[in-house]
């Protein structure tokens, strides 16, 4: 049985196919603006989540950095090596001054091929969790147990190409380093007398810690004590027995306060925060609060980007309107013929409006796909380059709002061309062309 | 079946600022009847057809197959036109970019025919009128084939009245004869009345009834 008919949808599709360049450009513009909006909105939420991961189950971070925000950026996200140290005696004073669940000393300053190192205690792996509720996991080997053993973050292992059992020489500061063999004179100040052995590689955590290498605190003290002794003209390889109080320094202290079972927050947080703040020799930061502050600063910038994306969306709506409006001049005869065949003015108005909506909807759907694949690509890049784990999935609420907005704009863009079609004088447009 | 395919009473029409006007006191076409309306170029033949089709507003009564076109407004008038009137133009006015079949289906989009019958009706007409490939885009068809498609589209909805506006004005005598054979036989086969306008006196012999536009034109030359 024959069922084929000519429908409004077919007429619209044929009309779009009749001017492919204009149609595809307009769809592309809508897709780009929708994708841009969705990615920016999604990234803002996802980036926030990713930054929240790094501080894990730490309640307070103590350092000698100039401000709490700098302390968090350096101590949690490895932005720079902290510039001022804290004496070991101060660490002991803080640790013993309150019944903390744990207090973990950290020291930063050395690096390997640009990947930062963190010298710390074994508590860092057993008690600190890089994301709350997600303890460290080893992809290979074990955690360090004694001096001159090194554990690699997942991104650091991948980026450096180091593998289990290999020897590593660290660099003072953030210059280049090298693996086993003779020290490289051009690599900066390499701690060439003290090779570290790779004993473990960590699973990815989705935090900045993935880019770091972890060593025992005493090893780090020995490296720097050796430098001090060399400058003083003392010969011979430095050992733990040569360490003085001057050598025993840290650059950060991770603190966790007592909590009730099943509760991550501590009732003593504010009191202990205020107590530590009275010590002018140190800076104390609540990482969660500082990340909030960071995002308040950044939100102004991403507001501008989102504003720009909205402007692009409006531009694409105007482009849709112009493309359709201009096409009306060439389509007056087609419209007149449809009217003669029995199409009402309203039907013709609807056809043009549908055309605008189809362009916008095609663009919006392409934009969602673009945002999804773009998000996956951006997420992979961010994870590989700076260790940030961004969830590339789109927020359903934002997606619905952006799609709804795009379709509404598309409908609006179609009104003027549709009105022009509505007003086409039928009889005048059926005459033979002059 | 209604008593007349077309009935006009006391029709008056004038373009704004024009020195002439149409005045048709009484004009009727019986169902299935074929009428040739003759007159010089610009005498108002096309205008009269447009008034009959409801594309221009005039005073008086215009009734097509029982539909009072003059009383209908907006979508109702468009619907009545789509169901009762078929139109054939000098330049065919086909939908470019569409196939022959789709052009005929377009003539059925706004008809009273149930959609499941559209394709069979369209294909049947195209076959009868000798279009070998209904799926060919009309722009690829010869002029003669395009005219056949235009005739098929005009007859698709089984209209009571076909209005043919100078359908042979751009054709040579041989093709004129072929085209008129086609239009007249197709209308006859479908039972549609035909009102055909032309300024070509050679067509008079083809019609049992020939009317001149001149008695209906008042005022100066159009």
Partners of residue B111 in chain A, C-beta under 8 Å: 342
Q: How far is A389 from chain B (nearest CA, A)?
A: 51
Q: Is the pLDDT of residue A209 over 60?
A: yes
Residue A333 tokens, joined: 């005869």
d(CA A310, CA A313): 5
Find out whether B95 and A337 touch, Cβ atoms under 8 Å: yes
User: How much is the pLDDT for B29?
Assistant: 97
Which positions ≥6 away from A298 have C-beta within 8 Å?
none
Residue from B93, B88, B222, B217 nearest B165 by CA: B88
Q: For residue A109, is it left (φ>0), alpha (ψ between -120 and 50) or beta?
A: left
Q: Is the pLDDT of residue A91 over 90?
A: yes
Q: How confident is the model at residue A41 (pLDDT cuts 50, 70, 90)?
A: confident
From the candidates B64, B76, B93, B165, which should be mutated to test the interface with A, based on the most A CB atoms within 10 A? Answer: B93
Residue A28 tokens, joined: 């592309």
User: How much is the pLDDT for A186?
Assistant: 39
Q: Is the pLDDT of residue A52 over 90?
A: no
Between A432 and A361, the higher pLDDT residue: A361
Q: How far is A365 from chain B (nearest CA, A)?
A: 27
Find out whether A318 and A413 touch, Cβ atoms under 8 Å: yes
> Which of A334, A337, A344 is nearest residue B78 as measured by Cβ atoms?
A344
Tell me the CA distances in angstroms from A273 to A62, A261, A355, B169, one per residue in order.
10, 21, 62, 97
Cβ-based neighbour number of residue A89 at 10 Å: 10
Q: Helices marked H in B19-138 — which ranges?
A: 45-52, 74-84, 100-106, 118-128
User: How much is the pLDDT for A102?
Assistant: 94
Partners of residue A427 in chain B, C-beta under 8 Å: 50, 55-56
Q: Do B97 and A345 touch (CB under 8 A)?
A: no
In three-state secondary structure terms, B16 is: coil
- Mean pLDDT for A101-120 is 93
Q: Is the pLDDT of residue A221 over 60?
A: yes
Min mean pLDDT across A153-167, A286-300, A348-362, B92-106 is at A286-300
CB-based burial of residue A140 (10 Å sphere; 0-12 exposed, 13-18 middle, 19+ buried)? middle
Please calculate the CA angle B82-B84-B88 and round it to the nearest 5 degrees.
75
Q: Do A14 and B97 touch (CB under 8 A)?
A: yes
Q: How confident is the model at residue A177 (pLDDT cuts 50, 70, 90)?
A: very low
Global ipTM: 0.92
Cβ-based neighbour number of residue B31 at 10 Å: 16
Please calculate the CA angle A257-A61-A134 and round it to the nearest 5 degrees.
65
Spell out which chain A residues touch chain B, with contact meaning CB-CB distance below 8 angstroms. 1-7, 10, 14, 17-18, 333-334, 336-347, 426-427, 430-433
CB-based burial of residue B124 (10 Å sphere; 0-12 exposed, 13-18 middle, 19+ buried)? middle
Find out whether B105 and B118 touch, Cβ atoms under 8 Å: yes
Residue A269 tokens, joined: 């947080």
Q: What percent of chain A has pLDDT over 70?
A: 93
pLDDT digits (tens, 9 = 90+) for A366-393: 999 999 888 888 778 876 666 566 677 8
Q: Do B117 and A4 touch (CB under 8 A)?
A: no
- Mean pLDDT for A300-313 is 79
- Mean pLDDT for A63-84 is 89
Paired strand residues for B85? B161
Kindly identify which residue of chain B lies nearest to residue A434, measuring between CA atoms.
B91
d(CA A331, CA A421): 9
From the candidates B73, B104, B106, which should be mutated to test the interface with A, based on the most A CB atoms within 10 A? Answer: B106
User: How much is the pLDDT for A385?
Assistant: 65
Mean per-residue pLDDT over chain A, rounded: 86
d(CA B28, CA B13): 17
Domains of chain B plus CATH, in order, are: 6-219 (3.40.50.300)
φ, ψ of residue B55 in degrees (nearest 5): -90, -15
Min mean pLDDT across A316-325, A336-345, A421-430, B213-222 is at B213-222
Q: Is the pLDDT of residue A428 over 80?
A: yes
Q: Is the pLDDT of residue A267 over 90?
A: no
d(CA B116, CA B110): 14
Between A185 and A155, the higher pLDDT residue: A155
CB-based burial of residue A192 (10 Å sphere; 0-12 exposed, 13-18 middle, 19+ buried)? middle
- Mean pLDDT for A64-92 is 90
User: How much is the pLDDT for A433?
Assistant: 63
Q: How confident is the model at residue A184 (pLDDT cuts 50, 70, 90)?
A: very low
φ, ψ of residue B49 in degrees (nearest 5): -60, -40
Q: What SS3 string covers chain A?
A: CCCCCCCHHHHHHHHHHHCHHHHHHHHHHHHHHHHHHHHHHHHHHHHHHHHHHHCCCCCEEEECCCCHHHHHHHHCCCCCCCCCCEEHHHHHHHHHCCCCCEEEEEEEEEEECCEEEEEECCHHHHCCCCECCECCCEEEECCCCCCCEEEECHHHHHHHCCCCCCEEECEECCCCCEECCCCCHHHCCECCCCCEEEEEEECCCCCHHHHCEEEEHHHHHHHHHHHHHHHCCCCCCCCHHHCCCCCCEECEEEEECCCCCCCCCCCCHHHHHHHHHCCCCCEEECHHHHHHHHHHHHHHHHHHHHHHHHHHHHHHHHHHHHHHHHHHHHHHHHHHHHHHCCCCHHHHHHHHHHHHHHHHHHHHHHHHHHHHHHHHHHHHHHHHHHCCCCCCCCCHHHHHHHHHHHHHHHHHHHHHHHHHHHCCCCHHHCCCCC
pLDDT mean for each 10 residues of chain B (222 residues): 87 91 95 94 90 94 93 94 93 91 94 93 91 93 91 93 90 84 91 93 93 87 50
Q: Do B108 and A5 touch (CB under 8 A)?
A: yes
Residue A136 tokens, joined: 């460290």
Find out whether B28 and B4 touch, Cβ atoms under 8 Å: yes
d(CA A1, CA A16): 30
Which positions ≥6 away from B94 have C-beta within 8 Å?
A337, B103, B138, B146, B149, B150, B153
pTM for this model (two decimals) = 0.69
Residue from B84, B74, B21 nearest B52 by CA: B84
Partners of residue B83 in chain A, C-beta under 8 Å: 342
Tell me the CA distances in angstroms from A147 to A98, A152, A197, B110, B199, one per residue in order.
29, 15, 10, 88, 111
- Mean pLDDT for A310-333 is 85
User: How much is the pLDDT for A178?
Assistant: 46
d(CA A35, CA A378): 13
């Amino acid at each position: 049985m024959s069922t084929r008919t000519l429908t409004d949808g077919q007429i619209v599709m044929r009309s779009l196919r009749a001017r492919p360049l204009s149609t595809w450009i307009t769809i592309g513009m809508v897709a780009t603006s929708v994708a841009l909006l969705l990615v920016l909105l999604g990234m803002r939420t996802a980036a926030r989540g990713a930054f929240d991961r790094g501080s894990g189950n730490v309640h307070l971070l103590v350092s000698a950095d100039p401000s709490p925000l700098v302390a968090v950026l350096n101590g949690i996200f490895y932005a720079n090596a902290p510039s001022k140290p804290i004496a070991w005696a101060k660490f002991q004073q803080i640790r013993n001054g309150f019944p903390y669940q744990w207090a973990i000393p950290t020291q930063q300053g050395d690096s390997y091929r640009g990947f930062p190192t963190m010298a710390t205690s074994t508590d860092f792996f057993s008690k600190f969790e890089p994301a709350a509720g997600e303890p460290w996991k080893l992809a290979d080997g074990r955690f360090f147990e004694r001096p001159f053993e090194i554990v690699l973050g997942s991104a650091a292992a991948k980026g450096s190409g180091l593998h289990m059992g290999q020897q590593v020489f660290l660099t003072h500061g953030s210059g280049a380093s090298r693996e086993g063999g003779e020290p490289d004179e051009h690599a900066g100040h390499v701690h060439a007398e003290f090779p570290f052995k790779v004993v473990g590689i960590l699973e990815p955590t989705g935090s900045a810690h993935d880019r770091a290498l972890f060593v025992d605190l005493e090893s780090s003290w020995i490296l720097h004590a050796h430098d001090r002794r060399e400058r003083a003209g003392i010969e011979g390889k430095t050992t733990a027995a040569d360490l003085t109080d001057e050598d025993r320094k840290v650059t950060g202290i991770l603190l966790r306060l007592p909590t009730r079972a099943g509760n991550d927050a501590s009732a003593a947080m504010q009191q202990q925060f205020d107590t530590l703040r009275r010590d002018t020799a140190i800076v104390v930061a609540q990482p969660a609060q500082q990340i909030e502050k960071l995002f308040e600063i950044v939100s102004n910038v991403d507001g501008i980007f989102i504003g720009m994306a909205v402007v692009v969306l409006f531009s694409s709506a105007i482009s849709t309107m112009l493309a359709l409006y201009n096409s009306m001049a060439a389509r007056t005869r087609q419209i007149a013929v449809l009217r003669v065949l029995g199409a009402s003015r309203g039907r013709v108005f609807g056809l043009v409006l549908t055309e605008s909506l189809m362009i916008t909807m095609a663009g919006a759907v392409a934009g969602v796909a673009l945002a999804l694949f773009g998000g996956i690509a951006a997420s992979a890049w961010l994870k590989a380059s700076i260790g940030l784990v961004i969830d590339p999935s789109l927020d359903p609420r934002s997606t619905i709002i952006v799609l709804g907005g795009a379709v509404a704009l598309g409908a609006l863009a179609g009104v003027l061309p549709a009105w022009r079609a509505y007003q086409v004088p039928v009889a005048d447009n059926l005459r033979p062309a002059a | 079946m209604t008593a007349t395919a077309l009935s006009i009473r006391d029709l008056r029409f004038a373009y704004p600022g024009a020195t002439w006007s149409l005045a048709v006191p009484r004009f009727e076409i019986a169902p299935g009847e074929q009428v040739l309306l003759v007159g010089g170029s610009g005498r108002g033949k096309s205008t009269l057809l447009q008034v009959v089709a409801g594309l221009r507003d005039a005073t008086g009564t215009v009734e097509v197959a029982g539909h009072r076109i003059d009383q209908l407004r907006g979508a109702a008038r468009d619907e009545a036109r789509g169901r009762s009137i078929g139109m054939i133009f000098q330049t065919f006015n086909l939908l470019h970019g569409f196939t022959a079949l789709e052009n005929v289906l377009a003539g059925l989009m706004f008809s009273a025919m149930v959609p499941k019958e559209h394709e069979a009706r369209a294909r049947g007409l195209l076959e009868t009128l000798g279009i070998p490939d209904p799926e060919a885009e009309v722009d690829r068809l010869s002029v003669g084939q395009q005219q056949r498609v235009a005739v098929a589209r005009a007859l698709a909805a089984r209209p009571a009245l076909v209005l043919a506006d100078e359908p042979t004005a751009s054709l040579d005598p041989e093709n004129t004869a072929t085209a008129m054979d086609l239009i007249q036989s197709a209308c006859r086969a479908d039972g549609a009345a035909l009102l055909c306008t032309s300024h070509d006196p050679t067509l008079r012999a083809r019609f049992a009834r020939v009317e001149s536009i001149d008695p209906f034109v008042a005022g100066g030359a159009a």
